[in-house]
């Protein structure tokens, strides 16, 4: 579904939201969902007139399995370059383990891991704050993971990964504590992106905010993240 010109949410991707960004010359997928979504993503792009070998980048907001799970196979199908922040690159490439999850969810994910296997992938592009890919600016928003990023299409859209999420009513909420490496840092990151201007906020989980998103985020910060 095209939310704004050149900004698509790819329907039916399981795990986390997956987006397709299209410019005049280029295209990129932001996050890939759990393992097994690569064909859905390729089919969606094809419907938009983007043949698999024309996809330039697979940008991961962070390496958690629900975002990176289909990256290796999607790269195999398209030849797109995989991009991730430098602080999270060693987890994507398999040099470090994926995030340890605290509490009961860790157990559940451990059990899931038996069925859902992570395929490490060596990043082709290692990102830093303020880098540009297509017409997107990398905004370093650590907290959920060490290397979490948001991607900013100036004045239009902010892709936040798991820097925050939205509830079913489309209101901003904090990322879940058990999955978040450093909550104070996560709050600082939300403050950072709340200072920029955009109409659309595209989270990894929950429905996108499609109107006055930066004002919604500013009031979320002002209310003490409630």
Nearer to Zn ion, 50 or 83 (CB): 83
Please tell me whether residue 74 adopts helix, strand or coil conformation.
helix
**Which secondary structure element, helix H or strand E, spans residue 150, and what is its range?**
strand 149-153
Of residues 84, 24, 14, 72, the one with CA closest to residue 50: 24
Nearer to Zn ion, 17 or 56 (CB): 17
Nearer to Zn ion, 88 or 162 (CB): 162
For residue 181, the minimal CB distance to Zn ion (Å) is 13
Nearer to Zn ion, 121 or 163 (CB): 163
Q: For 129-148, b where at least 16 C-beta lie within 10 A, e where not — what string?
A: eebebbbbbbbbbbbbbbbb
Instruction: Please tell me the distance from the alpha carbon of residue 31 to that of residue 59, in angstroms, as a whole number.
Output: 6
Q: Which residues bind Zn ion (CB under 5 A)?
A: 16, 66, 162, 204
For residue 124, the minimal CB distance to Zn ion (Å) is 22
For residue 16, the minimal CB distance to Zn ion (Å) is 4
For residue 66, the minimal CB distance to Zn ion (Å) is 4
Q: Which residues contact 183 (CB under 8 A, 6 or more apart)?
A: 143, 174, 177
């Amino acid at each position: 579904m095209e939310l704004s010109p050149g900004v698509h949410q790819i329907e039916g991707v399981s795990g986390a939201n997956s987006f397709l960004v299209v410019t005049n010359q280029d295209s990129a997928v932001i996050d890939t969902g759990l393992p097994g979504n690569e064909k859905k993503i390729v089919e969606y792009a094809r419907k938009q007139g983007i043949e698999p070998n024309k996809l330039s980048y697979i940008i991961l907001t962070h390496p958690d399995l629900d975002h990176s799970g289909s990256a290796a196979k999607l790269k195999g199908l398209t030849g797109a370059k995989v991009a991730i922040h430098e602080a999270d690159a060693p987890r994507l490439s398999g040099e470090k383990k994926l995030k340890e999850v605290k509490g009961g969810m860790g157990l559940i994910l451990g059990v899931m891991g038996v069925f859902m296997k992570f395929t490490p992938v060596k990043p082709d592009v290692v990102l830093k704050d303020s880098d540009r890919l297509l017409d997107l600016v990398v905004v370093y928003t650590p907290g959920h993971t060490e290397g979490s990023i948001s991607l900013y299409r100036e004045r239009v859209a902010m892709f936040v990964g798991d820097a925050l999420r939205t509830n079913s009513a489309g209101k901003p909420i904090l990322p879940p504590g058990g999955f978040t490496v450093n909550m104070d840092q996560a709050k600082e990151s939300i403050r950072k992106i709340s200072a920029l201007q955009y109409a659309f906020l595209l989270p990894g989980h929950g429905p996108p905010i499609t109107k006055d998103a930066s004002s919604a985020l500013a009031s979320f910060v002002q209310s003490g993240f409630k």
